[in-house]
Amino acid sequence: MEAPENRYKQILERVFLRVYEKGATEVPFRRGDVQAAAKDLGFEIRNMPDLLYAFNYRGGIPAKLAALAPTGYTWTIAARGRQGKDSGYAFVSRQLADIVPTKNLGYAKIPDATPGIISKHARSDEQALLAKLRYNRLLDVFTGIACYSLQSHLRTQVAGAQLETDEVYIGVDKRGAQYVLPVQAKGGADRQNIMQIERDIQLCKSVWPDLICRPVAAQFVEGGLIAVFLFEEQGGEPKIIAERHYKLVPPDEISQADLERYGKRPD
């Protein structure tokens, strides 16, 4: 049986090419257009939000569509108008915006508190990274906020679009201010994308509007390092406000010289 994402690509390619005009930066369509294309191809769409999510976040862009985007740009799908039985959407051309760890950024060694049995049985880089963040309280170390894991792999819908976040933390700082910290985790071969952070901000506004939203992205990088990014919304867009790199090591690999150096670093 053909994989769902291959079917998704065929359906969205047909929808796009039916209405695309050369030079267009936005290509509108409706839910009914997707259903009609699926029927023409002999497919059935039972999960429209997953189709949209796959296109935006799981490499679901067909090659023909990618070739029609301006250099340095890609296509995303955005909701348009009121959402309902025949919801409106659009393919929108926007600049590529991968989040790439800074090369040669100094790192800090952290005593590795990850249980060995967890490290042994983690089934993916993402799962292993989320476990390391959790057991080593790296979000607390990174943000200065006491953070508590609320839910892993949260999936919900906002404005007709499916949102999926790897883990959600709730936190409180020394002033008593409270936060929600959605986390996106990636293995070394995958890249973080700013669109995922935008979706996390939408999630926070919809589900936790009274909490301060501080999205986090974490990624394995070369040399056994973990890169962690903190974002806030500025001018309607996510902006990186902090980046740190950490290396989890046995406690006896952290020297007195290391500790003295860390003590002299600026916050």
- The length of the chain in residues reads 267
Give per-residue pLDDT as tens, 18-76.
989 988 889 999 989 999 999 999 988 878 878 887 787 766 688 888 889 888 888 88
CA gap 102, 60 in Å, rounded: 27
Q: What is the pLDDT of residues 200-246, one digit of tens each?
A: 998 999 999 999 999 999 999 988 899 999 999 998 888 999 999 99
pTM above 0.95, yes or no: no
DSSP state of 84: S
User: What pLDDT sits at residue 6?
Assistant: 83
CA atoms within 13 A of residue 194's CA, in its CB half-sphere? 16
Q: How many other C-beta atoms can be found within 10 angstroms of the C-beta atom of residue 95? A: 10
The amino acid that residue 183 corresponds to is V
Between residues 57 and 146, the one the model is more confident about: 146
CB 146 within 8 A of CB 179: no
